[in-house]
Structure formats: structure tokens, C-alpha cells
Amino acid sequence: MLRCPETHEEAFLVMSTGEMVGRMVRSGILGCPICRREYAIVRGVVNFSGPGTGEGLPPRQKYAVAAGAPPRSPDAQTLQALLDLSGPGGYVVLVGSAARHAVGLAGLMGGIHFVAINAPSEVEELPVLSLLACAKMIPLRGAMARSLVVGADWAGDPWLGEAQRVLLRGRRLVIEAERVKPPSGVTQLAIGEGLWVGEKR
Ligand SMILES: [Zn+2]
């Protein structure tokens, strides 16, 4: 489901594994057969931004807490309903601080794999959660996600357009912010309680 973030067509990446813990790859290299770039897996995070050295990695942010306003965050059950996640299977993609929802959602539903892009530094890789870092795009193939949550910290360009690209048609996108410029191709369903909810056309 991964794709090279360069602008060429999608292609399978080739992995050479280093250290493994169970089925989790802690270190290794992903190679692109088209442009020949290599991406390092370091401490369980695939780094799509640097030339295999960890350089250019977007900073893994600490949770930002606005002064005077407690951060609002939907509970896992609310999020499950908004995402219309009823059965097992498939991929749910979490962008930025939304990565923190993986554990709660996984506790409600087995059989879904979570992929977090640019997760805060507190979030650790799990058997149900893969971590990716990329400064310019969501390094996943188009139309692969059954739903997507974008954290308030990444609720702008190019991430919302990227969210639309990787989402399957008819599936839900939740943005953890109300004042957003919705990506084209996504119909707004609801707005409120600090959330924007839409569905891909
Ligand atoms: Zn490539």
C-alpha cells in the first residue's frame, strides 16, 4: 500500500529488512524500482523525506495545547461512528496528532490496520499501527483507505488533498478542526464539536 513520494507513477516498493520484532520491521530500507531512491526504516518509522539518512524528517511534534483552551478530542466510539467503521478489514489512515486515536479505535474493532503519517513522538509502532514520516505527501497508493482522520496540526495543504486521494470512494474523512478548506471531491456531511466530517464522492 506504500508508494514512493516522487511524482512518477505508483509502483511497488521493495523492502530489505533489518531488525524485526514479531512482524514489525524496526529497521530496514525500502527501495523504489522506478526512481531508485531508498527510504530508511528507523526505529519502526519509515522515513520518506530523507535520502536514507534520517535527514529532512519532519519533526515529530509534541502535542500542541493552546493556552487557555483544553484540547477537544472525540472519544473512540464517537470517532468510530463518524468514520462509519462497522466491520473488520482494511486500512484506516491517521495524519499528524490523529495518530493518538489508533489505540482506542483498535480496542473497539479488531482486524483493521492503522497507518499513521507524521505522528507525534509519543506514538509508538504497534502490531496494528504502522508509522510513516513524509514532508510532502501521504506516501500511500490512491484509494486504499476505508477512512481517514486528519489532526488539527496537519489540517491544511497538501494534507487534505492527499487525504482525498488515498480515501476510497463513498468513505469518510474526519478533520479535527472546523475552519478548514475542504478538499474538492469530498462532500461535507457534518461540522461541529471541533470536527469536520465528509464523504468522498
Ligand atoms: Zn520513486
The HSE-up count of residue 62 (CA atoms within 13 Å, CB side) is 2
Tell me the residue range of the domain where 168 lies.
76-200
Q: What average pLDDT does range 164-189 have in this prediction? A: 96
Q: What's the 140 CA to ligand 1 centre distance in angstroms?
A: 12
> What's the whole-model pTM score?
0.90
Is there a domain that residue 30 lies in? no
Is there a domain that residue 37 lies in? no
Q: What pLDDT, on a 0 to 100 scale, did the predictor assign at position 132?
A: 98
pLDDT tens per residue, range 107-151 = 998 999 999 999 999 999 999 999 999 999 999 999 999 999 999
Q: What pLDDT, on a 0 to 100 scale, did the predictor assign at position 86?
A: 86
Q: What's the 134 CA to ligand 1 centre distance in angstroms?
A: 13
The structural domain count of the chain equals 1
Is there a domain that residue 180 lies in? yes
Q: What is the CATH number of the domain that holds 88?
A: 3.40.50.150
Q: What's the 31 CA to ligand 1 centre distance in angstroms?
A: 8
Q: Pairing state of beta strands 113-117 and 91-95?
A: parallel
pLDDT tens per residue, range 146-168 = 999 999 999 999 999 999 999 99
Q: Where are the alpha helices (DSSP H) in 27-126?
A: 76-82, 102-108
Cβ distance 115 to 90 under 8 Å?
no
Q: What average pLDDT does range 89-117 have in this prediction? A: 96
Q: What's the 46 CA to ligand 1 centre distance in angstroms?
A: 14
What string of H, E and C letters represents the secondary structure of 3-37? CCCCCCCCCCCEEEECCEECCEECCEEEECCCCCC
